């Protein structure tokens, strides 16, 4: 979801996959990404629209994804929680790591 | 360079993928492909295929018009609606599901039965290569076809014909008696069907071994027993190595225990004894063994047939010289034995293939009618739900909304129907074995045919619910469905009428057939067999010592309750013995093969057989013991004798120089089952040379309960080591018709179920018609029609197609019953009532079931119906 947000209006299947590979150094399969996107959309956290055709895809259109209002809120909630939890970690324990 | 990804993978993706998702998925896949092309084409191709396969998941395959938001809720709602519908119309729901389950279970049972019958002997690994040899002897005036063959024929064929891979042969051990070896506790067993088989038997036929192997019968004095027999003889299944005596003096060692022989085989046995245990006359003139050959895989039976004359040549000459007859040895696949005609001394149960086709037709009709009912009822219900569907669509449901309701309803119904059908099937399968003596082997349930046919039923069921959704999908306008109109239903009504008409004719056929079958049974039971089979007891003997039995009879005669005692060689249903007799004719002495039996002075009286001319055997005439014959009417006709008394016959006495003459003419009596025509019969008096096998007792109808134990005590006093075996003659006769009873039971059950299902069918169609004509009825009533008239109007349509279905049913009834009755040499005449009665019964049923809706639509207030919209 963060990826979708950071890619702004360039988020579609392949670009998301490449982004994750590049940034998170994780190999993910394209079909897995489709699956996740579909689920998020169904939950109403993402919305999508079909983009223009490009030659490299054999004339097929891309489906671009953007966050919905709900999606943004959920993302913020999620991050806030994580950061809050992170802040509770005492300094010394971090240092010892 | 070709830069396309593999075409087949791409096409596969297009095939399975939901068209709505296809574009983006394919796009992404192509884009990745182009990128990977930079590395290598092979890598890219492989990756592309992998991607396609990984995309192949349910969420990408299913075609729902997915829109975010409301859809999941609607799906939930669908199930809720389906469940609620079921709950609201409890009666209809119960009728619908139970009717379908019943039809399914019954057709599954019939399928199992038919598959069971069709796969006789298919469990042998080489079943399509094993042939049985039989012997056909053509005398100058008649042909006899035996299942038994000369002993060496199989071995000779194997030695002289390269196409024959192996052979086996066996003989029936006549009434074997096993005695346990332990002298203190000596037990006697006598009911085991025992074959003495040669060493290849276990290799030619396939049986499952619990212990031991296919070499078990290589040596003499070895015994192979089935599981059940092992339990009975030794009290344990681990009987390997145990010893037992056959006929008191032949020691046998158990060398293998096999699982019980499946019931769908022509070759049923409880124990096998190795061939070399006995000394036999292993010559061509000993026509007593059952011979089987196995062909090589690449050989054809024609090649063996072509080489057969060479093998048989010497024997054929011999037969020609001695009997003035020709000998042939036809081959028969073991899988076909169950369906072929009955041979002399055959060991197989036979089944008429026509019966099975009849049953298959019934299965088909059952499935169809069950489905029609289900569909009709569902549709009738749905018409009342149209409004609801309309409302759902207004609130964001889809054109396919009703489909989903149908699907969810089907799923809910299936959750009930399938387990119920399985349960019913299981129960009926068990009870069929227990009560109707219909044996269906449990292996059949796992067989390919049975599994695929039942899977077919289920598929059929689901597919057919799509018919309804197709009909409903014609209701495309929200407005129409809100109005509750099933716009196209008018055009589908004729189809449904036709289907219900079919169902009705099916019902008529069933009723008529059951009438005919039941009548035929009454006919058999009450027909004049030519003698009196009531209150007769038959005691069976294994080895008939004439004088011993005579003393036994004297003892028995003194018992209170025994009205008459007699001796005979004949027993109903046993293989009858035939002998070559010389009978007097205008052209001199004729040589004829005639069925024969012997009996004592009392037999004719005890059995109540009429003497038409001449006299019975009498003690005053000393010549009667040797040299007097009784014949039946058919024999007199066959021999061309107008006045048979005094005519000369010579036969089995010939060896001791006796020639005899006919002293009495008997009225024909039926000494086999009614399937066969009465044959000519020659009777002569028992004597020392011919063993006595059966003692017939005429019992006082009011005999005391301990009569049979008293007889047994007498028997044991005479033969302490032999089992006392007896049977009532009546029940013996009934057991001759066991296969017919199976048919009768199937038909009777089928009748009940088909009547039930037809009732449901009529009920459902009348519900549908009534709901379609609600308004019409309302208007008619306003204009002035009376309730009775409306009722008549409703009934009229049913009576109409009842008549049509009767016209369809009649020729079929005639054809089917004719086919079945052909199995009997003596049968009832088909009268016109067999056609009219079933029609009347179905008419009554139709009126009763349709009048519920008839009355309902007639009584309803027009105010309610006219504001229906």
Query: Which residue among A14, A47, A63 places its CB closest to the CB of B31?
Result: A14
Q: What is the pLDDT of residues B85-105, one digit of tens each?
A: 777 777 777 777 887 888 888
- Mean pLDDT along residues A28-42: 79
Residue ranges with strand state E in B700-764: 725-728
- The residues with which B578 forms a beta bridge, in sequence order, are B595
Q: Residue B67: which pLDDT band, with cuts at 50, 70 and 90?
A: very low
Q: Average pLDDT, whole number, for chain B?
A: 77
Select from B309, B737, B712 the least CA-distant residue to B522. B737
Q: What is the pLDDT of residues B527-572, one digit of tens each?
A: 666 677 777 888 877 666 777 777 788 888 877 778 788 887 777 7
Query: Which residue among B26, B57, B60 places its CB closest to the CB of A60?
Result: B26
Chain B residue with CA closest to A18: the answer is B32
Select from B177, B383, B198, B404 the least CA-distant residue to B293. B198
> Residue B143, Cβ neighbours under 10 Å: how many?
11
CB atoms A13 and B60 under 8 Å: no
| A/B interface, count of CB pairs below 8 Å | 64
Percent of chain B beyond pLDDT 90?
A: 1
Residue linked to tokens 């196995």: B294
Structure tokens at B332: 């028969």
Percent of chain B beyond pLDDT 70?
A: 82
On the question of pLDDT at B805 being above 80, the answer is yes
Shared domain for B326 and B473, answered yes or no, is: no
Q: How far apart (Å, rounded) are the C-alpha atoms in residues B274 and B272? A: 7
Shared domain for B156 and B299, answered yes or no, is: yes
Q: Give the model's pLDDT for residue B852.
A: 79
- A93 has a chain B CB within 8 A of its CB: no
Q: Give the model's pLDDT for residue B267.
A: 86
Shared domain for B792 and B820, answered yes or no, is: yes
Q: Give the model's pLDDT for residue B690.
A: 65
Q: Give the model's pLDDT for residue B688.
A: 66
Q: Give the model's pLDDT for residue A59.
A: 67
Question: Which residues in chain A have their CB less than 8 angstroms from residue B73's CB?
Answer: none
CB atoms B27 and A34 under 8 Å: no
Our CA-based measurement puts residue B300 at a distance from the nearest CA of chain A, in whole angstroms, of: 57
> Residue B659, Cβ neighbours under 10 Å: how many?
15
Helix (H) / strand (E) containing B579 = strand B577-585
| Most confident of the ranges A6-20, B250-264, B450-464 | B250-264
Question: Which residues in chain A have their CB less than 8 angstroms from residue B54's CB?
Answer: 29-32
Q: How far apart (Å, rounded) are the C-alpha atoms in residues B312 and B149? A: 12
pTM score, whole prediction = 0.65
Please, is B200 exposed, middle or buried when counting C-beta atoms within 10 Å of its C-beta (0-12, 13-18, 19+)? buried
Which of B60, B87, B102 is the endpoint of a domain? B60
Q: Give the model's pLDDT for residue B865.
A: 66
Best of A11, A15, A30 to mutate (most B CBs within 10 Å, chain B): A30
Our CA-based measurement puts residue A94 at a distance from the nearest CA of chain B, in whole angstroms, of: 41
Structure tokens at B346: 């055959």
Domain that holds residue B42: 7-60
Query: Which residue among A30, A44, A47 places its CB closest to the CB of B29?
Result: A30
On the question of pLDDT at B235 being above 70, the answer is yes
Please, is B861 exposed, middle or buried when counting C-beta atoms within 10 Å of its C-beta (0-12, 13-18, 19+)? exposed
Question: Which residues in chain A have their CB less than 8 angstroms from residue B55's CB?
Answer: 30-31, 34
Shared domain for B333 and B358, answered yes or no, is: no
On the question of pLDDT at A84 being above 50, the answer is yes
Q: What is the pLDDT of residues B415-467, one digit of tens each?
A: 888 888 888 888 888 777 766 656 677 777 777 778 888 888 888 777 776 66
CB atoms B27 and A60 under 8 Å: yes
Shared domain for B574 and B515, answered yes or no, is: no
Helix (H) / strand (E) containing B243 = strand B243-246
CB atoms B30 and A61 under 8 Å: no
Our CA-based measurement puts residue A42 at a distance from the nearest CA of chain B, in whole angstroms, of: 5
Best of B31, B57, B75 to mutate (most A CBs within 10 Å, chain A): B31
- Mean pLDDT along residues B754-777: 73
Is the residue at B70 inside a domain?
Answer: no
Shared domain for B145 and B53, answered yes or no, is: no
On the question of pLDDT at A61 being above 60, the answer is yes
Is the residue at B691 inside a domain?
Answer: yes
Is the residue at B97 inside a domain?
Answer: no
- The residues with which B562 forms a beta bridge, in sequence order, are B699
Is the residue at B110 inside a domain?
Answer: no
Is the residue at B784 inside a domain?
Answer: yes
CB atoms A56 and B30 under 8 Å: yes
On the question of pLDDT at B488 being above 50, the answer is no
Question: Which residues in chain B have their CB less than 8 angstroms from residue A50's CB?
Answer: 23-24
Q: What is the pLDDT of residues B571-620, one digit of tens each?
A: 776 655 677 777 777 777 777 777 778 788 888 888 878 888 888 887 77
Shared domain for B507 and B643, answered yes or no, is: no
Shared domain for B226 and B366, answered yes or no, is: no
Chain A residue with CA closest to B22: the answer is A60
Q: What is the pLDDT of residues B781-791, one digit of tens each?
A: 888 878 788 78
Which of B278, B310, B337 is the endpoint of a domain? B337
Q: Residue A58: which pLDDT band, with cuts at 50, 70 and 90?
A: low
Is the residue at B90 inside a domain?
Answer: no
Q: How far apart (Å, rounded) are the C-alpha atoms in residues A51 and B403? A: 33
Which of B721, B752, B775 is the endpoint of a domain? B721
Q: Give the model's pLDDT for residue B66.
A: 47
CB atoms A34 and B28 under 8 Å: yes
Q: Are B841 and B751 in contact (CB under 8 A)?
A: no
Q: What is the pLDDT of residues B701-728, one digit of tens each?
A: 777 777 888 888 888 887 777 777 788 8
Best of B3, B17, B24 to mutate (most A CBs within 10 Å, chain A): B24
CB atoms A29 and B59 under 8 Å: no
Question: Which residues in chain A have their CB less than 8 angstroms from residue B60's CB?
Answer: 34
Q: What is the pLDDT of residues B621-647, one digit of tens each?
A: 767 777 788 888 888 887 778 788 878
Shared domain for B370 and B333, answered yes or no, is: no
> What total number of domains does chain B contain?
4
Helix (H) / strand (E) containing B152 = none
CB atoms A58 and B55 under 8 Å: no
What residues of chain A, 4 to 63, have a C-beta less than 8 Å from chain B?
Answer: 12-14, 17, 29-32, 34-35, 38, 41-42, 44, 47, 50, 56-58, 60-63
Q: Give the model's pLDDT for residue B69.
A: 44
Chain B residue with CA closest to A16: the answer is B28
Question: Which residues in chain A have their CB less than 8 angstroms from residue B7's CB?
Answer: none
- Mean pLDDT along residues B761-765: 72
- Mean pLDDT along residues B731-741: 72
Is the residue at B615 inside a domain?
Answer: yes
Shared domain for B814 and B685, answered yes or no, is: no
Q: How far apart (Å, rounded) are the C-alpha atoms in residues B446 and B626? A: 60
List residues of chain B with CB under 8 Å from any CB of chain A: 21, 23-32, 34, 51, 54-55, 57, 59-60, 66, 68-69, 72
Shared domain for B379 and B280, answered yes or no, is: no
Select from B673, B850, B650, B685 the least CA-distant residue to B758. B850
CB atoms A60 and B24 under 8 Å: yes
Q: What is the pLDDT of residues B845-860, one digit of tens each?
A: 878 877 777 777 777 7
On the question of pLDDT at B483 being above 60, the answer is no
Chain A residue with CA closest to B30: the answer is A57
Is the residue at B346 inside a domain?
Answer: no
On the question of pLDDT at B753 being above 60, the answer is yes
Shared domain for B478 and B394, answered yes or no, is: yes
> Residue B320, Cβ neighbours under 10 Å: how many?
12
Q: Residue B21: which pLDDT band, with cuts at 50, 70 and 90?
A: confident
Q: Residue A69: which pLDDT band, with cuts at 50, 70 and 90?
A: confident
């Amino acid at each position: 979801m963060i990826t979708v947000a950071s890619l702004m209006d360039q988020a579609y299947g392949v670009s998301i996959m490449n982004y994750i590979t590049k940034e998170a150094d994780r190999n993910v399969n394209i079909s897995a990404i489709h699956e996740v996107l579909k689920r998020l959309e169904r939950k109403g956290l993402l919305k999508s629209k079909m983009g223009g055709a490009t030659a490299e895809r054999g004339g097929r259109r891309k489906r671009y994804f953007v966050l919905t209002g709900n999606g943004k809120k959920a993302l913020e909630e999620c991050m806030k929680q994580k950061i809050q939890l992170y802040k509770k970690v005492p300094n010394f324990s971090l240092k010892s790591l | 360079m070709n830069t396309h990804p593999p075409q087949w993978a791409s096409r596969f993706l297009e095939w399975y993928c939901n068209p709505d998702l296809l574009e983006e998925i394919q796009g992404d896949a192509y884009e990745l492909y182009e990128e990977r092309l930079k590395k290598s084409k092979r890598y890219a191709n492989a990756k592309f295929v992998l991607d396609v396969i990984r995309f192949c998941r349910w969420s990408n395959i299913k075609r729902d018009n997915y829109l975010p938001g409301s859809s999941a809720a609607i799906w939930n709602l669908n199930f809720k609606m389906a469940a609620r519908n079921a709950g609201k119309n409890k009666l209809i729901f119960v009728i619908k599901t139970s009717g379908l389950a019943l039809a399914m279970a019954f057709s599954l049972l019939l399928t199992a039965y038919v598959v069971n019958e069709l796969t006789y002997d298919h469990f042998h690994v080489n079943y399509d290569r094993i042939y049985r040899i039989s012997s056909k002897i053509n005398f100058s005036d008649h042909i006899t076809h035996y299942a038994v063959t000369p002993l060496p024929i199989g071995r000779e064929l194997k030695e002289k014909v390269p196409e024959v891979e192996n052979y086996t042969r066996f003989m029936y051990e006549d009434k074997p008696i096993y005695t346990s070896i332990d002298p203190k506790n000596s037990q006697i067993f006598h009911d085991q069907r025992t074959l003495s088989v040669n060493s290849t038997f276990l290799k030619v036929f396939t049986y499952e071994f619990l212990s031991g192997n296919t070499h078990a019968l290589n040596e003499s004095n070895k015994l192979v027993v089935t599981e059940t027999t092992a339990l009975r003889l030794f009290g344990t299944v681990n009987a390997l190595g145990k010893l037992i005596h056959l006929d008191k003096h032949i020691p046998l060692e158990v060398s293998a225990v096999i699982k019980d022989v499946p019931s769908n085989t022509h070759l049923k046995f409880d124990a096998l004894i190795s061939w070399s245990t006995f000394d036999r006359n292993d010559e061509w003139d000993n026509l007593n063994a059952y011979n089987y050959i196995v062909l090589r895989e690449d050989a054809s039976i024609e090649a063996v047939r072509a080489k057969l004359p060479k093998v048989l040549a010497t024997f054929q000459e011999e037969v020609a010289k001695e009997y003035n007859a020709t000998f042939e040895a036809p081959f028969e696949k073991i899988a076909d034995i169950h369906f072929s005609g009955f041979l002399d001394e055959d060991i197989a149960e036979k089944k008429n293939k026509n019966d099975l086709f009849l049953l298959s037709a019934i299965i088909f009709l059952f499935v169809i009618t069950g489905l029609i009912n289900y569909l009709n009822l569902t549709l009738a219900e749905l018409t009342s739900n149209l409004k609801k569907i309309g409302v759902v669509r207004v609130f964001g449901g889809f054109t396919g909304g009703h489909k989903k309701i149908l699907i969810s309803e089907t799923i809910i119904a299936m959750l009930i129907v399938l387990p119920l059908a399985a349960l019913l099937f299981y129960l009926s399968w068990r009870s069929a074995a227990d009560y109707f003596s219909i044996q269906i082997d449990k292996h059949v349930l796992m067989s390919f045919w049975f599994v695929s046919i039942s899977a077919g039923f289920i598929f059929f069921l689901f597919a057919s619910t799509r018919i309804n959704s197709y009909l409903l999908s014609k209701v495309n306008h929200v407005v129409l469905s809100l109005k509750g109109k099933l716009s196209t239903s008018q055009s589908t009504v004729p189809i449904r009428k036709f289907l219900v008409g079919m169902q009705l004719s099916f019902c008529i056929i069933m009723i008529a057939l059951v009438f005919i079958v039941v009548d035929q049974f009454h006919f058999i039971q009450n027909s004049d067999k030519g003698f009196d089979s009531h209150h007769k007891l038959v005691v069976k003997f294994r080895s008939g010592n004439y004088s011993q039995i005579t003393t036994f009879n004297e003892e028995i005669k003194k018992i209170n309750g025994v009205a008459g005692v007699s001796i005979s060689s004949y027993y109903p249903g046993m293989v009858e013995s035939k002998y070559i007799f010389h009978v007097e004719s205008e052209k001199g002495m004729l040589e004829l093969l005639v069925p024969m039996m012997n009996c004592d002075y009392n037999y004719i009286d005890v059995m109540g057989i009429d003497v038409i001319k001449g006299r019975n055997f009498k003690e005053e005439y000393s010549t009667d013991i040797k040299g007097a014959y009784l014949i039946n009417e058919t024999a007199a006709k066959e021999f061309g004798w107008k006045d048979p008394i005094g005519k000369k016959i010579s036969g089995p006495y010939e060896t001791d120089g006796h020639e005899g003459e006919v002293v009495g003419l008997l009225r024909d009596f039926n000494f086999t089952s009614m399937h066969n025509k009465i044959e000519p019969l020659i009777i002569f008096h028992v004597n020392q040379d011919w063993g006595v096998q059966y003692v017939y007792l005429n019992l006082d109808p009011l005999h005391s309960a301990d009569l049979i134990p008293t007889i047994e005590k007498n028997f044991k006093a005479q033969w302490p080591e032999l089992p006392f075996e007896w049977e009532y003659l009546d029940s013996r006769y009934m057991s001759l018709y066991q296969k017919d009873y199976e048919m009768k039971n199937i038909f009777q059950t089928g009748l009940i179920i088909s009547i039930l299902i037809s009732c449901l069918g009529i009920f459902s169609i009348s519900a549908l018609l009534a709901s379609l004509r609600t308004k019409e009825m309302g208007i008619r009533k306003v204009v002035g029609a009376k309730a009775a008239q409306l009722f008549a109007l409703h009934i009229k349509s049913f009576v109409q197609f009842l008549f049509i279905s009767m016209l369809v049913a009649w020729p079929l009834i005639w054809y089917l019953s004719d086919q079945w009755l052909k199995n009997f040499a003596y049968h009832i005449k088909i009268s016109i009532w067999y056609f009219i009665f079933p029609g009347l019964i179905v008419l009554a049923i139709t009126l009763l079931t349709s009048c519920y809706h008839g009355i309902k639509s007639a009584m309803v207030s027009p105010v309610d119906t006219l504001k229906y919209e």
